[in-house]
Structure 1
Amino acid sequence: MRASKYGIIFLFIAGLISFFPVLTHAEQSIKAYYFYNETCSHCHEEALFLDSLKDEYEELDLVLYDVVASEEARDLFDSVREAFLKKNAMTPFLVIGGTAFIGFSEQTETDIRQTLTRYQSEQYVDVVAKIIANQPLLPGDIEEIRFSPGDFVTLPIIGTVPIDSLSLFLGAVVLGFVDGFNPCALWILIFLISLLIHQRDRRRMWLLGLTFLLTSALCYFIIMTAWLQIAFSIAGIIWIRVIIGLFAFVFGLLNLFRYYKNRKDPVGCSQGDVTKRMKIQERIRHLIAEKNLLFAMVGIAILAIGVNVIELSCSAGLPLLYTQILAYNDLPAFLYYVYILVYVFVFLLDDILVFSGAMITLRISGISARYSRYSHLVGGIIMIIIGLLLLFFPNIILFS
Structure 2
Amino acid sequence: MKKIFFILGLALWLMLPVAAIASNDVIEFSAFTRDDCSHCVELKEFLETDFAERLPNVQPKYYDLADPDTYDFFTEFTGENDLPRATPTILIGDRILQGFESAETTGEYMIELASQLTESSYFEDYEAPTSNNDDDGLLIHLPWLGTIDFQDYSIPVLAIILGFVDGFNPCAMWVLVMFLVFLSQTGSRKKMLILAGIFIAAETIMYYLILNFWYTTWDFVKLDQIVTPIIGVVSIGAGAFFLWEFFRNKGDECKVTTSKHKDRITEKIKKMVNSPLSIGVFFSILGVAFSVNIIEFACSIGIPQAFTKVLELNYVNSLMRQVYILIYTLFYMIDDLIVFGIAIWSFKYLHLTTKYTRYCLLIGGIVMLLLGYFFVFDPSKLIF
TM-score range relative to shorter protein: 0.7 to 0.9
Q: C-alpha distance in 1, partners of 2:153/2:223?
A: 22
Q: Is 1:308 paired with 2:301?
A: no
Q: 1:222 aligns with which of 190, 204, 209?
A: 209
Q: C-alpha distance in 2, partners of 1:102/1:152?
A: 11
Q: Is 1:295 paired with 2:280?
A: yes
For residue 78 of structure 2, give the secondary structure of its aligned residue in structure 1. coil
Q: 1:48 aligns with which of 36, 45, 49?
A: 45
- Tell me if the contact between 1:26 and 1:119 (Cα under 8 Å) persists in the aligned partners: no
Q: 1:280 aligns with which of 244, 256, 265?
A: 265
The gaps in structure 1 that reach 5 residues or longer are 1-18, 69-73, 125-144, 154-160
Q: Is 1:85 paired with 2:78?
A: yes
Q: C-alpha distance in 2, partners of 1:230/1:366?
A: 38
Q: C-alpha distance in 1, partners of 2:72/2:19?
A: 17
Q: Is 1:233 paired with 2:229?
A: no
Q: 1:28 aligns with which of 25, 29, 42?
A: 25
Q: Is 1:352 paired with 2:315?
A: no
Q: 1:243 aligns with which of 224, 230, 241?
A: 230
For residue 52 of structure 2, give the secondary structure of its aligned residue in structure 1. helix
Aligned residues: 346
- CA deviation vs aligned residue, 1:73-94 (integer Å, no higher than 9, x gap): x356436524633799475555
Q: C-alpha distance in 1, partners of 2:373/2:255?
A: 26
- Tell me if the contact between 1:255 and 1:376 (Cα under 8 Å) persists in the aligned partners: yes
Q: Relative to structure 1, is the Cα distance of residues 362 and 242 closer, same or farther in structure 2, using a 3 angstrom cutoff? A: closer
Aligned pairs for 1:326-341 within 5 A = 326-341=311-326
- Tell me if the contact between 1:176 and 1:346 (Cα under 8 Å) persists in the aligned partners: yes
- Tell me if the contact between 2:98 and 2:134 (Cα under 8 Å) persists in the aligned partners: no
Q: C-alpha distance in 2, partners of 1:193/1:165?
A: 38
Q: Is 1:113 paired with 2:108?
A: yes
Q: C-alpha distance in 1, partners of 2:345/2:362?
A: 32
Q: Relative to structure 1, is the Cα distance of residues 110 and 358 closer, same or farther in structure 2, using a 3 angstrom cutoff? A: same
Q: Give the C-alpha shift of residue 260 in structure 1.
A: 5.3
Q: Give the C-alpha shift of residue 52 in structure 1.
A: 1.9
State the TM-score, normalizing by the size of structure 2.
0.77
Aligned pairs for 1:46-195 within 5 A = 46-50=43-47, 51-63=49-61, 74=67, 77-78=70-71, 81-82=74-75, 84-85=77-78, 89=85, 92=88, 94-97=90-93, 99=95, 101-106=97-102, 110-122=105-117, 147=134, 163-195=150-182
State the TM-score, normalizing by the size of structure 1.
0.74
Q: CA RMSD in A?
A: 3.6
- CA deviation vs aligned residue, 1:35-76 (integer Å, no higher than 9, x gap): 6566654444333322222233233324567777xxxxx356
- Tell me if the contact between 2:232 and 2:376 (Cα under 8 Å) persists in the aligned partners: yes
Aligned pairs for 1:366-377 within 5 A = 367-377=352-362
Q: Give the C-alpha shift of residue 312 in structure 1.
A: 0.2
For residue 61 of structure 1, give the secondary structure of its aligned residue in structure 2. strand
Q: Which amino acid aligns with 2:101?
A: S
The gaps in structure 2 that reach 5 residues or longer are 1-15, 120-131, 141-147
- Tell me if the contact between 1:183 and 1:269 (Cα under 8 Å) persists in the aligned partners: yes
- Tell me if the contact between 1:26 and 1:121 (Cα under 8 Å) persists in the aligned partners: no
- Tell me if the contact between 2:89 and 2:96 (Cα under 8 Å) persists in the aligned partners: yes
Q: C-alpha distance in 2, partners of 1:222/1:312?
A: 12
Choose 1 or 2 for highest CA Rg.
1
Q: C-alpha distance in 1, partners of 2:244/2:203?
A: 27
Q: Relative to structure 1, is the Cα distance of residues 308 and 82 closer, same or farther in structure 2, using a 3 angstrom cutoff? A: closer
Q: Which amino acid aligns with 1:250?
A: G
Q: Which amino acid aligns with 2:108?
A: R
- CA deviation vs aligned residue, 1:337-378 (integer Å, no higher than 9, x gap): 111111111111121022022113454435333432343333
Q: Report % sequence identity.
A: 26
- Tell me if the contact between 1:152 and 1:162 (Cα under 8 Å) persists in the aligned partners: yes
Q: Relative to structure 1, is the Cα distance of residues 150 and 81 closer, same or farther in structure 2, using a 3 angstrom cutoff? A: closer
Q: Give the C-alpha shift of residue 32 in structure 1.
A: 4.4
Q: C-alpha distance in 1, partners of 2:230/2:334?
A: 31
